[in-house]
Chains A and B, each alone.
Chain A
Amino acid sequence: METFFVFALNGLSYGLLLFMLSSGLTLIFSMMGVLNFAHTSFYMLGAYFAYALTGSIGFFPALIVAPLLVGALGAAFERYSVRKVHPYGHVPELLVTFGLSYVVLEVVRLIWGPANVDYRVPEALDGALFTLANIQGHGLSWFAGAGDAAICAAAGNSCTQFPMYRGFMAMVALAMLVALWLLLTRTRIGLIIQAALTHPEMTQSLGHNVPRVMMGVFGGGCALAGLAGVIGGNAFVTEPNMAASVGAIIFVVVVVGGMGSLAGAFLASILIGLIQTFAVVIDVSVVSVMEKLGNPVAFDHWAYPILKISVSQMAPILPYLLLVLILIFRPKGLLGTREE
């Protein structure tokens, strides 16, 4: 039971991280129609910048500086590349970001090497935030910090710790989401962005510089990806492959949630975060279930290799299976409105 809670929280924090990535992607997509293939390259840059900056200025300043740097790079890329191919249509826009992902990958490999770098969780955030203990006779109880070692070691008791950094990740993500929501709905800037989203010509006629707004949105989306990289890079691994491995997942998130829907992206992120976290620990396969039912599958049955795959082994493909299922049963996505 206590592991269930901790896993649920882990899944939530991972889902929130996914949402930080997919929200930027969705914003850029719904505003400019550009699918930013290099979005996770900016995520990777955020992690590497934070790694490089942590050494000189410390983690917390890097938490602010690295996303700003990434956002500036993103804005510059929009200004000098995406805008140039805009007249040719959306496919060349996608292609130009696809090309950028190659270049970023190579530059990162060149500067920081092909292996993973030692980007660590800062000491202040290391350790357990709280511990859930299942004490015999008492049921579930809750301790702040690492909990009492004596209680956990006692026979019949079991403890599960929730890392402080995971909590920090979730907090940063939530704070950022609230800030983003307030920015978009409660400020003048948000008003102009929303206007430029639906009525670009009218907004332009009213004297707003729509291309500059778009550059800002692109840069902002990239900064969000950079921030996700700063807090995700040390929670997971910082290596040149991190962009490609997350890239496909956030595309799934965006399609499953419904193109252009922020709320849908949120739902899908949390869903996929939970699925991926829980699937890893479920060690059940068709073969094992059949065995329990007293009807074992023969070892030389033709489908044995497929049936013996357990849910935990299937974990990497579950998001894609979800994508396929959604496309079959609800093609416009969970909360999508557009039918294309």
Chain B
Amino acid sequence: MTDKMYTFRPLNVGRIVLWSLFAIVLLVAPKVFDSSLSMTMLTQMGIAIIACLSYNMLLGQGGMLSFGHAVYSGLGSFAAIHVLNKVSEGAWNVPVSLLPLVGGVAGLLVSALLGSITTKKSGTIFAMITLGIGELVFSMSLMLPEFFGGEGGISSNRMVGEPFMGITFGPEIQVYYLIAVYTFVCTVLMFAFTQTPLGRILNAVRDNPERVEFIGYDTQRVRYLAFMIAGFFAGIAGGLYAINFEIVTAEVVSAHRSGAYLLFTFLGGALFFFGPIIGAVMMVLATVLLSEMTKAWLLYLGIFFLVMVMYAPGGISGLIMMNLRLAAYGMLRRLWTSYLALAGSLLVVLTAVAVIVEMVYHIKLNEALGPEMSFMGATINTHGVDAWVGSVFLLITGVGLFELVRRQFVHQWGQIQEDIEAENLRRQMH
């Protein structure tokens, strides 16, 4: 006879609300942003969300810094596009909507193969090995044009097979909803993974591998399992990429793309589950919009990343959660003047830096167009002394102001943290 245990778990209202909101946003987004540019961006965001979340399974949850995650998403893309080509030849019969799963399985197999080597090590050595493996696969893409398509890549056509309920995947909107469904399901699954015993022990492996060994787990095996699961989801993202773009080039397995996953996952924040979602949205905004706006976007990105690593290692989501904590104690309003001042002085610094960088880029790259350049609607003479003196003066003023405000802010922040501690103590007493 089995004992029946009665447990009571309160309905987690907050969680239900958040997930419903996420679903609604995915559902409504193409209605609100319906231009063709925003449609392409939305589809890319969906793909990037899956890729960055799968990357964070390694970085955030497992403490594994990988420089080669694009290998798994990229080979997923190649697998999916080859299968798609087989389908259009009539050789195989796979519905287009299941192609991402083909990519996922490919990602799983490749990560099972390569992960057995890379996960032998952890920490920085793991990072170096993944970089080497990434280079290995990328160099192979140049040697095997039969599989990787050489310079031109492999192209395909997603409108194959019998339309199911009128869905041909011809219009962009149908592809978007396919991606949205996958994004939602994968996000739910990856969140569920964090709650499983494996997900929990993975966190333990990240924090204290030695103790995990002592309680009888094989840390390498845990890392390996997590690596394969991350590879599976990366492969799904890769399969969606193949459907969305209908062309896959060797660029998808490049170190460049792996670097982008790392950079934006970190910027979004590796410490919280939703951080990479913010990072993925930023990734698409930066690569599509910012790269159109300025040639110096990689420089801005690099500097922003450096500043974030140094001053906000929790990423954007870390900043959000820190402020939510204050809000929970009702102390956020004590800071709003400081935030306003910080934002103001930061804006001055940013404007000055942007003007200087843009002037340098203009002189270097667009000299043929004359010394005039337009910046945020204003016309600036890059040869004029006044422009340089003015921007440098602006920079010095901005930095000075920022430093003043920052000191005040740090003081206030410390004060508030002390107050929260006191409040906690008071609550415990009562």
Contacts and interface: CB of A to CB of B under 8 A. Distances in A.
Interface in B121-178: 121-125, 127-129, 131-136, 139-140, 142-144, 146-147
Interface residues of A, number: 48
A120 interface: no
Given A81-B306, A95-B266, A110-B360, A102 B301 contact: yes
B332 interface: no
B120 A323 contact: no
B406 to A, nearest CB: 14
Contact of B302 (A29, A103, A306, A319): A103
Contacts of B313: 85, 88, 92
A113 B263 CA distance: 24
B373 to A, nearest CB: 15
B5 interface: no
Given A85-B309, A103-B306, A35 B135 contact: no
B131 A251 contact: yes
A274 to B, nearest CB: 19
Interface string B264-301: 00100000000000000000000000000000101101
B298 A323 contact: no
B63 A91 contact: yes
B15 interface: no
Given A85-B309, A316-B139, A317-B139, A103 B303 contact: yes
A30 to B, nearest CB: 12
Pairs of residues from A and B, 3 with the lowest C-beta to C-beta distance, nearest first: A102-B302, A320-B136, A103-B302
B1 interface: no
B364 interface: yes
Given A94-B124, A105-B298, A110 B144 contact: no
Given A35-B127, A255-B125, A317-B143, A324 B305 contact: no
A95 B314 CA distance: 13
Contacts of A331: 120-121
Contact of B135 (A102, A107, A248): A248
A310 to B, nearest CB: 10
Most buried by B among A100, A251, A306, A324: A251
Contact of B123 (A248, A309, A313, A340): A340
A314 interface: yes
Given A255-B128, A313-B143, A106 B299 contact: yes
A314 B360 CA distance: 42
20 contacts: A81-B306, A81-B310, A84-B310, A88-B313, A91-B65, A98-B259, A98-B262, A100-B306, A103-B303, A106-B299, A113-B364, A255-B125, A255-B128, A259-B125, A305-B144, A316-B139, A320-B135, A323-B136, A327-B120, A340-B123
Given A327-B120, A340-B123, A85 B310 contact: yes
Interface in B183-213: none
A92 B255 CA distance: 19
A94 B65 contact: yes
Contact of B309 (A35, A90, A96, A317): A96
Interface in A1-38: 29, 33, 35
Contacts of A320: 132-133, 135-136, 139
Given A94-B127, A340-B125, 19 more contacts: A84-B310, A85-B309, A95-B305, A96-B309, A100-B302, A102-B302, A110-B361, A111-B364, A251-B132, A255-B129, A305-B146, A309-B144, A313-B143, A320-B132, A320-B136, A323-B132, A324-B132, A324-B136, A331-B121
Contacts of A111: 364
Contacts of B131: 247-248, 251
A327 B296 CA distance: 40
B139 to A, nearest CB: 4
A172 to B, nearest CB: 27
Report whether over half of chain A's contact residues are helix, strand or loop; otherwise say mixed.
helix
Interface in A291-340: 305-306, 309, 313-314, 316-317, 319-321, 323-324, 327-328, 331, 340
A103 B146 contact: no
A50 interface: no
A85 B308 CA distance: 11
Interface in A54-88: 81, 84-85, 88
A254 interface: yes
A88 B63 CA distance: 13
A110 B266 CA distance: 26
A90 B262 CA distance: 16
Interface in B88-137: 117, 120-125, 127-129, 131-136
A306 B65 CA distance: 31
A99 interface: yes
Contacts of A85: 309-310, 313
B305 A248 contact: no
Interface of A: 29, 33, 35, 81, 84-85, 88, 90-92, 94-96, 98-100, 102-103, 105-107, 110-111, 113, 244, 247-248, 251-252, 254-255, 259, 305-306, 309, 313-314, 316-317, 319-321, 323-324, 327-328, 331, 340
Given A320-B133, A331-B120, A254 B128 contact: yes
A35 B128 contact: yes
Interface string B20-41: 0000000000000000000000
Nearest to A29: B124
B59 to A, nearest CB: 8
A113 B360 CA distance: 12
A331 B125 CA distance: 11
Contacts of B140: 317
B322 to A, nearest CB: 15
Contacts of B142: 316
Nearest to A321: B136
Given A255-B128, A324-B133, A106 B296 contact: yes
B355 to A, nearest CB: 15
B147 A305 contact: yes
A147 B398 CA distance: 66
A316 B137 CA distance: 11
A315 to B, nearest CB: 9
B400 to A, nearest CB: 18
Nearest to B128: A251
Contacts of B255: 244, 248
A306 B148 CA distance: 12
A113 B132 CA distance: 28
B136 A102 contact: no
